[in-house]
């Protein structure tokens, strides 16, 4: 049996990433799920490399530079590209209605929930004494996830998929802001879902530490 040829770095898509960024995390999850090999370039946000800024002047991660020169610098675009190229684990729902439900839930995560998450986790960036009011305002979204997970094992249905990968890194960030408080909330299904995600082989692999690229 012949061993498939491994692409050389010069032919690989290049991924600029930052390990703890939830946007970069979900992009890495999708690339991994699609069995897409990339040249991983770990960056420091306070010292962004010129190569990355030339590809994407907005200076946020993730940035994926494809072999044909196209640049994807939004995490959802990277997820969509990876999964539509090779959806190894069938993360994308087969029917259009379910797929649209996933994207709608992700939009709620990226909109209102992320707004409150930022102000809960980093209140001083926004001139706030603390983020407790925004923690309370985030309850609605998290309660909705709890309700979903009471009826089904994962956000999109019976197995881990697009919505889980896109949303879990942000719920993780919220939970880790005050782990003791989160643990005592009446979100047992949500907490178990998050625990299973953090214990998964996929999460462990995408959180592997890389040296800073230069």
Q: Going residue by residue through the chain (214 aa), what tens digit of pLDDT does each one get?
A: 333 444 444 589 999 999 999 999 999 999 999 999 999 999 999 999 999 999 999 999 999 999 999 999 999 999 999 999 999 999 999 899 999 999 999 999 999 999 999 999 999 999 999 999 999 999 999 999 999 999 999 999 999 999 999 999 999 999 999 999 999 999 999 999 999 999 999 999 999 999 999 8
The per-residue pLDDT for 10 is 54
Q: 145 exposed, middle or buried (CB, 10 Å; 0-12, 13-18, 19+)? A: buried
Does residue 207 fall inside a structural domain? Answer: no
Domain that holds residue 80: 9-89
DSSP state at residue 105: H
**CA pair distance 74, 94, nearest whole angstrom:** 24
Q: Examine the domain organization and report whether 40 and 82 are in the same domain.
A: yes
Does residue 179 fall inside a structural domain? Answer: yes
Edge-first strand listing for the sheet containing 71-72: 39-42, 14-17, 63-65, 71-72
Picking from 44, 60, 89, the residue at the C-terminal end of a domain is 89
Q: Examine the domain organization and report whether 83 and 39 are in the same domain.
A: yes
How many structural domains does the chain have? 2
Q: What is the CATH number of the domain that holds 59?
A: 3.40.30.10
Which pTM does this prediction carry?
A: 0.93
Q: Give Cα separations from 156 to 28, 88, 102, 180, 184 (angstroms).
A: 19, 17, 7, 28, 25
The per-residue pLDDT for 116 is 98
The per-residue pLDDT for 214 is 85
Does residue 206 fall inside a structural domain? Answer: no
The per-residue pLDDT for 11 is 86
- The distance from CA 156 to its chain's CA centroid, rounded to whole angstroms, is 16
Q: Examine the domain organization and report whether 197 and 100 are in the same domain.
A: yes
Output the six-digit token pair for 187: 């979100």
Does residue 4 fall inside a structural domain? Answer: no
């Amino acid at each position: 049996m012949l061993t498939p040829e491994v692409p050389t770095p010069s032919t690989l898509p290049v991924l600029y990433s930052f390990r703890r960024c939830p946007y970069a995390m979900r992009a890495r999850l999708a690339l991994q799920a699609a069995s897409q090999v990339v040249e991983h370039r770990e960056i420091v946000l306070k010292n962004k490399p010129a190569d990355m800024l030339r590809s994407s002047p907005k200076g946020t991660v993730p940035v994926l530079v494809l072999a044909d020169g196209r640049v994807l610098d939004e995490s959802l675009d990277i997820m969509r590209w990876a999964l539509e190229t090779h959806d190894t684990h069938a993360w994308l729902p087969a029917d259009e209605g379910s797929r649209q439900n996933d994207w709608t839930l992700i939009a709620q995560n990226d909109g209102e929930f992320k707004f409150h998450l930022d102000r809960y986790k980093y209140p001083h960036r926004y001139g706030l004494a603390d983020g407790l009011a925004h923690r309370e305002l985030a309850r609605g979204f998290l309660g909705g996830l709890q309700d979903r997970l009471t009826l089904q094992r994962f956000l999109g249905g019976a197995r881990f998929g697009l919505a889980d990968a896109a949303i879990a890194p942000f719920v993780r960030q919220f939970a880790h802001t005050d782990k003791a408080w989160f643990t005592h909330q009446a979100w047992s299904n949500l907490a178990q879902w998050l625990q299973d995600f953090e214990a998964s082989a996929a999460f462990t692999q995408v959180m592997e530490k890389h040296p800073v690229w230069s």
